[in-house]
Homo-oligomer: A and B are copies of this chain.
Amino acid sequence: MNEFDLIRRYFTRPVPPGYLGAGDDCALLPVAPGKQLATSTDLLIEGRHFLPDADPASLGHKALAVNISDLAAMGAEPLGCMLGLSLPKVDEAWLAAFADAFHELAHEAGCPLVGGDTTRSPDGIVISVTVFGQIEQGRALLRSAARPDDDIWVTGTLGAPHAALQWLTRQWPAQPALLAAARPALERPVPPWRFAQRLPGLAHAALDISDGLLQDLGHILKASGCGAILYYHQLPIDSVLEPLDESLVREAVLSGGDVYQLCFTAAPRNREAIAELARAFDVRATRIGVIESGAHLKVHDAAGRPIPISSRGFDHFA
């Protein structure tokens, strides 16, 4: 199978009216008048972000999901995506599983694959995804927009992806039943992209929790020139963590990355509207803290006592 056949067989699907998909020098996408293009890109490298025997369907899903999560974190509406794929060999079963899962999420999110690049790599698999979205001029949810007295919210639950990764990489003692329960959160994250598109106007700052709650919230605080208190007892800890030691739970919940849910801030007057929006889109949204003047980031227990925090999430070059 040559390069053109491979693209045709696995990656060419019909695109919506007004689009030009794979097959020319560029793809063409519509951006509505008055809207800005929002775009984000991720590189996934075998041996760094996934193991050689990783399930191809999970990879295909997650490679796109992490990028759709970035659009959600701006409040943008998905428009389409590009895929760069470098493979040591053409493995048709692998390609079919990868492509099916990728296209399934793309279809569900209204984010059709419009083009890309395939090539052969001497070493491992490399996956590069770039997403495009649109958002009305000036309405994007920026990291710099948090204000003192804002509530801090998160969607979904915290900790399960980190726990799954620790069990998979044997950094935590084996717990097969818990791993099975936690694994979908790591391998098939579903960012709340529909809910997120309705947040502009209700929320101020937002980002997705890819590097861990403390580190990611820290980005909001730094960009906004604010401090924050988190209420540990209000955090939506994933139920899979219940049987674990408190120290492991804290690590997973406060510093565990790969969550691909949103952390956002909003004025207290919007509490009811946000709760209603969450109900309408079947999203769990939890208030977990408050933005304050200052530059601190503190975590309080139920009695209002500070919990010591150290680990600050993940840095690729640390």
Contacts and interface: CB of A to CB of B under 8 A. Distances in A.
Interface string A27-70: 11111011111111111011111000000000000000000011
A276 interface: no
Contacts of A35: 31
A114 interface: yes
A122 B37 contact: no
Contact of A29 (B4, B39, B45, B48): B39
B316 A3 contact: yes
B117 A45 contact: no
A176 B79 CA distance: 50
Interface in A86-145: 86, 90, 114-124, 126, 128, 130, 132-133, 135, 140, 142-144
Copies of this protein in the complex: 2
Contacts of A114: 39
A14 interface: no
A40 B317 CA distance: 28
Given A70-B26, A71-B26, A132-B37, A126 B45 contact: yes
A169 to B, nearest CB: 15
A76 interface: yes
Interface stretch (A17-25, A154-162, A244-252, A280-288): A17-25
A83 to B, nearest CB: 8
B42 A84 contact: yes
Contacts of A48: 86, 119-122
A73 interface: yes
Contacts of A37: 28-31, 37, 79, 132
Given A24-B144, A26-B40, A45-B86, 14 more contacts: A3-B317, A20-B140, A24-B140, A25-B40, A25-B70, A26-B39, A26-B73, A29-B39, A41-B84, A43-B117, A43-B119, A48-B122, A126-B126, A126-B128
